[in-house]
Amino acid sequence: MLNHPSDPALLPRLLWSGLLLLLLAPTLPLTGFNPLALFDGATLKTLAGFVAGFLPPASDAIFLGEVIRSTVTTLAVATAGLALAMLVGMPLAFATTRALDRHALTGASASRWAEAGKSLLRGLMVLLRGVPEIVWALLFVRAAGLGSLPAVLALGLAYGGMLGKVYAEILESQPRGMARALRAAGAGRWQVCGYALLPQALPELVSYTVYRWECAIRASAVMGFVGAGGIGQLLDTSIKMMNGGEVSTLLLVFLLMVLATEGISRLSRRLLESRRGGATLAAAGMLVPLASLAWLLPAWREAGFDSGSLLRFAGEFLPPDASPALLADIGRGALETLAMALLGTALAFAGAALLALPASGRVGRVLKGLARLLLNLLRGIPDLLWAALAVLAVGLGPAAGVLALALHTSGVLGRLFAETLENAPPAPEQALRALGAGRLRAFCYGLLPEVWAQWLAYALYRGENNIRAAAVLGIVGAGGLGQQLYLALSLFQLPTAASLILAMLLLSWLLEQLSRLLRQRLEAAVGQMA
């Protein structure tokens, strides 16, 4: 065996795997995730009873009426929220984009005051999008009471920060020639933007906005979990009451809604290609937000809105609590959050790899179809929703978060992995097969090396996303910083909540830096290999 090692790189491979396992080992006690607990008698019985209750889906008229109203509210909230986000994002993008900088267009030196102002606005956008929309929603629900208005405000702020940044970048990525020419001819900032940049960038801007609308619908559907109305609130109640029939109806409606939005989004991208389609799209872009407002307005009018109490509430957050006891708690919460994300992503990587093989069509048509269906289901249900369901299966705490992240991320990664498998050059594997290697070996040494770096890059990117997600899963009871935040806000300990939000922001920022570093290393390594 030693004379003819079947794998010359066996030792380093084993070392790396061992190192990874060593890194994952502490996540088990930290999250209390015990795969065996899933199969423990009592859990299985509770779960079996609940799942058996899924059939038949609830279909009585009163409930269905409620579901339809809530679904329309969810759609209206997403649309109105995105409209508000555009109102926030467009001026921010216009003010901060480097594409309109005088010094970039004419070569004149930059004004220090203008630059400082722009930095300030950019910082504001980082803050707006750094706080997850579900946290914004929770804050507004606490400040302004229940209902759909907090959800719209939350989407408006979180997505406003995102749109502002991306709109600015889209403008910056356009060719500058026309803008320079107009500027040289004496045109002002508005004119350069309106006549040179916008016409070039419009398709990209619209297409990104439509994509964000799709995301907003998923986000709006889960905001109900913090009391912000819509289909999520119904789901929350049905899950708490362990009413399986209602849960299955709601999940079906949710999946249909996500599918329908994806369809509309594809259609609108196609419309964008013709002038007539563009006009239709513009008309829809005007009418749909107005219809949404009309739908939401009566409830808002009844609930009332008091900006004074909102400001008082905001004031109560200051100053953030920095007592050593709380900082220790936050440290523990952050560690729990990191462990949840790490273990969840690792499990998802394994699950995705397993599902990607049939999904790429390597083991027959039927299995391909089934695997794709499963992947779509896993991916289509947002992690927060999985977490709410997982809390039932494994109880409150970080273990539910691990399960939720593992399930949702398996779906996301599985699809991407299957695509890389399909796109990888088949020659090396075929050559190994022709030389007499078995199926498994040919796959491991012919195909896997082709896709491995890409898989790792995807996993790294999702891992980063998952830390951000893990930080908020606790809002539905799945441990980590989110659970502490929910508790603090429930007890009106607002300075504590402020510190927790700052910790979330810090964690997310640190992570972005680390991931950028890692990705650069990875790219360099891949470059060397090539």
Partner 1 sequence: MTALKLTLAGALLAVSALVSAEEAVLKVSAIPDEAPTELQRKFAPLGAYLEKELGMKVQFVPVTDYAAVVTALTSDKIDMAWLGGFTFVQASQRGKVVPLVQREEDSKFTSKYIANAEAGINSLKDLKGKNFAFGSASSTSGHLMPRYFLQKQGIKPESFFKNVAYSGAHDATVAWVASGKVEGGVLNASVWDKLVEAGKIDPAKVKLIGTTPAYYDYNWTVRGNLDAKLQQKITKAFLKLDPKNPEQQAILELQRASKFIPTKAANYKGIEAAAKEAGLLK
The residues binding partner 1 (CB under 8 A) are: 32, 42-43, 45-46, 83-84, 86-87, 90, 141-146, 149, 227, 233, 236-237, 240-242, 282, 285-286, 289-290, 293, 296-297, 300-306, 309, 395-397, 477, 487, 489-493
| Nearest distance from C-beta of residue 282 to partner 1, angstroms | 7
Task: Check: CB of residue 265 under 8 Å from CB of residue 210.
Answer: yes
Query: 374 is written with which tokens?
Result: 């499963």
Q: Does an H or E element contain 344, and which?
A: helix 324-359
Alpha-carbon gap, residue 381 to 222, rounded angstroms: 10
| Nearest distance from C-beta of residue 172 to partner 1, angstroms | 22
Task: Check: CB of residue 455 under 8 Å from CB of residue 353.
Answer: yes
Cβ nearer to partner 1, comparing 123 with 199: 199
| Nearest distance from C-beta of residue 76 to partner 1, angstroms | 12
Measured CA to CA in angstroms, residue 30 lies from 165, 333, 417, 462 at distances of: 36, 10, 29, 21
| Nearest distance from C-beta of residue 31 to partner 1, angstroms | 12
Cβ nearer to partner 1, comparing 38 with 460: 38
Cβ nearer to partner 1, comparing 22 with 325: 325
Alpha-carbon gap, residue 158 to 468, rounded angstroms: 14
| Nearest distance from C-beta of residue 235 to partner 1, angstroms | 11
Task: Check: CB of residue 156 under 8 Å from CB of residue 140.
Answer: no
The dihedral over CA atoms of 478, 481, 485, 486, expressed in degrees to the nearest 10, equals 0
| Nearest distance from C-beta of residue 83 to partner 1, angstroms | 5
Q: Where are the beta strands (DSSP E) in 233-312?
A: none
Task: Check: CB of residue 404 under 8 Å from CB of residue 383.
Answer: yes
Task: Check: CB of residue 148 under 8 Å from CB of residue 230.
Answer: yes
Q: Please list, in sequence order, all residues whose beta carbon lies within 8 angstroms of the beta carbon of residue 272, skipping any fewer than 6 positions away.
A: 203, 206, 207, 278, 281
Q: Is the peptide bond before 199 cis (omega within 30 degrees of 0)?
A: no
Cβ nearer to partner 1, comparing 4 with 275: 275
Cβ nearer to partner 1, comparing 118 with 142: 142
Q: Name the phi and psi angles at 252, rounded to 5.
A: -60, -50
Using only C-alpha atoms, what is the Rg of the chain?
Answer: 25
Q: Can you give the three-state secondary structure of 99-157, one letter per residue?
A: HHCHHHHHCCCCCHHHHHHHHHHHHHHHHHHHCCHHHHHHHHHHHHCCCHHHHHHHHHH
Query: 189 is written with which tokens?
Result: 């900032």
Cβ nearer to partner 1, comparing 36 with 42: 42
Cβ nearer to partner 1, comparing 144 with 355: 144
| Nearest distance from C-beta of residue 301 to partner 1, angstroms | 5
| Nearest distance from C-beta of residue 188 to partner 1, angstroms | 17
| Nearest distance from C-beta of residue 134 to partner 1, angstroms | 15
DSSP letter (8 states) at residue 9: T
Cβ nearer to partner 1, comparing 159 with 458: 159
Cβ nearer to partner 1, comparing 343 with 424: 343
The dihedral over CA atoms of 389, 390, 394, 398, expressed in degrees to the nearest 10, equals -130
Query: 371 is written with which tokens?
Result: 């695997």
| Nearest distance from C-beta of residue 302 to partner 1, angstroms | 7
Cβ nearer to partner 1, comparing 452 with 492: 492
| Nearest distance from C-beta of residue 219 to partner 1, angstroms | 18
Cβ nearer to partner 1, comparing 220 with 420: 220
Please spell the DSSP secondary structure of 489-508, one letter per residue: HHTT-HHHHHHHHHHHHHHH
Alpha-carbon gap, residue 229 to 74, rounded angstroms: 8
Q: Among candidates 449, 461, 397, which has minimal Cα distance to 425?
A: 449
Cβ nearer to partner 1, comparing 161 with 477: 477
| Nearest distance from C-beta of residue 147 to partner 1, angstroms | 9
Residue for token pair 């009418």: 287
Alpha-carbon gap, residue 403 to 146, rounded angstroms: 29
Q: Please list, in sequence order, all residues whose beta carbon lies within 8 angstroms of the beta carbon of residue 120, skipping any fewer than 6 positions away.
A: none
| Nearest distance from C-beta of residue 84 to partner 1, angstroms | 7
Cβ nearer to partner 1, comparing 405 with 489: 489
**186-210: string of b/e by CB count within 10 Å (b at 16+)?**
ebeeeebbeebbeebbeebbbebbb
